């Protein structure tokens, strides 16, 4: 156990920006079901850390699946899984909030629960066990494989769901059953699997969800953050030259997910990542991101550049995160601002028909070796069928 604690403290010493709050009313263990190197490169995970810790009554600490050497130490010491910040047993937290981006991590989620000593099946948990919440892209997209291990599945965006979850936990501290009912009855954003009977067709597809308690919705809607300006509204205002409207959209107070912990030992740990937009207006028929994050929203250039300026003292590498970077109505302003700060820029993905010289110049100047484009198929006919019109 001593070795595990020492290795966690060594890791913390390499980082900047982490938080350790003591004496708060609610403790949340934010679990990434993969190793530290992978988890710390995940912007959604970092965003949830920031969102929970912004709430004064909440202390949020990180938990990762141990790497091989750490795993051997855990097995040797027969120690339950510990949080990174305070090295507290995970099972002592009030809430275990998983951030799951990939279905392949579902198995790791079960390993984290087992290593923590928290009952694997939700029906075996008592009021003394932590509340197990799953969130993230994978669990929103396909919750059923993990439904039996889960008390609550968060459906939608963390900016809305984290404060709502915390409020309801405080309102229903004395009864887990009442808390689950209250969450399910919100109607949007919280799916409580134990309140539904699920039937399947003969080929294994979900046929129907039937509530087994009253007052819960037949269908759980996703919760969407509404503060960010809509991409289309800002583009139209800029195109029309309507500065009043454009400026009022830009002035909205938005939450922009970005790196909050400087973690040089993680994948892409020396790069400052910032989300510049969410969702996509192109409407490709197969694309989950386009539908799930509808309507497409942006982080105004002003906010992206302000964050970039704060981080410039630590790094000269920045990654712009978006489903379609060039769709941002202020992409030119963002690139010019970042180049003026002497940033080396990389981008998450580009549409083939939107690659402008200005962006290529910025990438060449940054000595970025790669771009990702997705033509999907070599056939124009098939591209029309899937509505990917390049």
Site residues, ligand SF4 (CB under 6 A): 280, 282-284, 287, 289-290, 323-324, 351, 388
Closest approach of Cβ 279 to ligand SF4, in Å? 8
Residue (173 or 285) nearer to ligand SF4, CB: 285
Closest approach of Cβ 352 to ligand SF4, in Å? 10
Residue (210 or 379) nearer to ligand SF4, CB: 379
Alpha-carbon distance of 124 to 221, in angstroms, equals 28
Identify the sign of the CA torsion 333, 335, 338, 339.
negative
Backbone phi and psi for residue 346, each to the nearest 5 degrees, phi listed first: -130, 160
SS (H, E, C) 272-298: EEEECEECCCCCCCCCHHHHHCCCCEE
CA distances from 136 to 80, 97, 98, 266 (A): 25, 10, 8, 20
Q: Which residue has the tokens 């939107």?
A: 354
Residue (344 or 351) nearer to ligand SF4, CB: 351
CA distances from 286 to 47, 203, 291, 321 (A): 27, 21, 9, 21
Residue (344 or 388) nearer to ligand SF4, CB: 388
Question: Beta strand 190-191 with 152-154: parallel, antiparallel or unpaired?
Answer: antiparallel
Closest approach of Cβ 135 to ligand SF4, in Å? 21
Contact 234, 246 (CB under 8 A): yes
Residue (108 or 323) nearer to ligand SF4, CB: 323
Closest approach of Cβ 120 to ligand SF4, in Å? 35
Report the length, in residues, of the chain. Answer: 390
Contact 105, 99 (CB under 8 A): no
Residue (26 or 287) nearer to ligand SF4, CB: 287
Closest approach of Cβ 282 to ligand SF4, in Å? 4
Q: Which residue has the tokens 């597809």?
A: 205
Closest approach of Cβ 351 to ligand SF4, in Å? 5
Residue (289 or 355) nearer to ligand SF4, CB: 289
Query: Residue 200 corresponds to which tokens in the numbers above?
Result: 């399947």
Closest approach of Cβ 277 to ligand SF4, in Å? 10
Direct distance between the N- and C-terminal alpha carbons of the chain, in angstroms, rounded to an integer:
56
Closest approach of Cβ 289 to ligand SF4, in Å? 5
Q: Which residue has the tokens 């080396």?
A: 344
Contact 389, 383 (CB under 8 A): yes
Residue (75 or 356) nearer to ligand SF4, CB: 356
Residue (27 or 351) nearer to ligand SF4, CB: 351
Alpha-carbon distance of 336 to 350, in angstroms, equals 18
Backbone phi and psi for residue 37, each to the nearest 5 degrees, phi listed first: -60, -40
Closest approach of Cβ 34 to ligand SF4, in Å? 24
Q: Which residue has the tokens 């709430």?
A: 55
């Amino acid at each position: 156990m001593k070795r595990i604690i020492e290795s966690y403290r060594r890791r913390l010493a390499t980082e900047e920006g982490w938080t350790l709050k003591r004496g708060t009313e609610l403790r949340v263990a934010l679990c990434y079901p993969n190793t530290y190197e992978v988890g710390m490169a995940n912007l959604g995970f970092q965003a949830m850390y920031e969102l929970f810790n912004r709430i004064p009554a909440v202390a949020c600490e990180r938990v990762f699946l141990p790497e091989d050497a750490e795993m051997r130490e855990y097995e040797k010491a027969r120690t339950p899984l510990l949080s990174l910040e305070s090295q507290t047993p995970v099972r002592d937290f009030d809430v275990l909030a998983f951030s799951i981006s990939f279905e392949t991590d579902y198995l790791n989620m079960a390993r984290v629960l087992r290593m923590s000593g928290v009952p694997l099946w939700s029906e075996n948990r008592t009021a003394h066990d932590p509340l197990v919440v799953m969130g993230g892209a994978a669990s929103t997209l396909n919750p059923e494989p993990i439904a039996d291990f889960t008390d609550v599945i968060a459906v939608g965006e963390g900016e809305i769901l984290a404060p709502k979850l915390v409020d309801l936990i405080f309102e229903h501290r004395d009864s887990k059953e009442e808390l689950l009912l209250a969450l399910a009855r919100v109607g949007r954003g919280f799916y409580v699997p134990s309140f539904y009977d699920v039937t399947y067709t003969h080929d294994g597809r979900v046929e129907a969800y039937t509530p087994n308690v009253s007052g819960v919705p037949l269908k759980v809607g996703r919760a969407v953050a509404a503060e960010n300006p809509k991409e289309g509204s800002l583009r139209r205002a800029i195109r029309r030259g309507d500065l009043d409207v454009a400026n009022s959209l830009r002035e909205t107070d938005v939450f922009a997910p970005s790196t909050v912990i400087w973690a040089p030992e993680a994948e892409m740990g020396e790069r400052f990542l910032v989300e510049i937009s969410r969702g996509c207006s192109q409407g490709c028929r197969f694309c989950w991101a386009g539908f799930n994050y509808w309507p497409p929203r942006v982080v105004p250039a002003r906010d992206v550049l302000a964050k970039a300026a704060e981080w410039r003292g630590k790094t000269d590498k920045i990654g712009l995160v978006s489903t379609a970077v060039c769709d941002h109505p202020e992409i030119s302003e963002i690139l010019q601002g970042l180049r003026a700060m002497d940033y080396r820029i990389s981008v998450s993905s580009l549409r083939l028909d939107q690659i402008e010289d200005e962006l290529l110049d910025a990438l060449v100047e940054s000595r970025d070796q790669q771009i990702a484009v997705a033509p999907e198929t070599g056939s124009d006919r098939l591209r029309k069928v899937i509505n990917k019109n390049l």
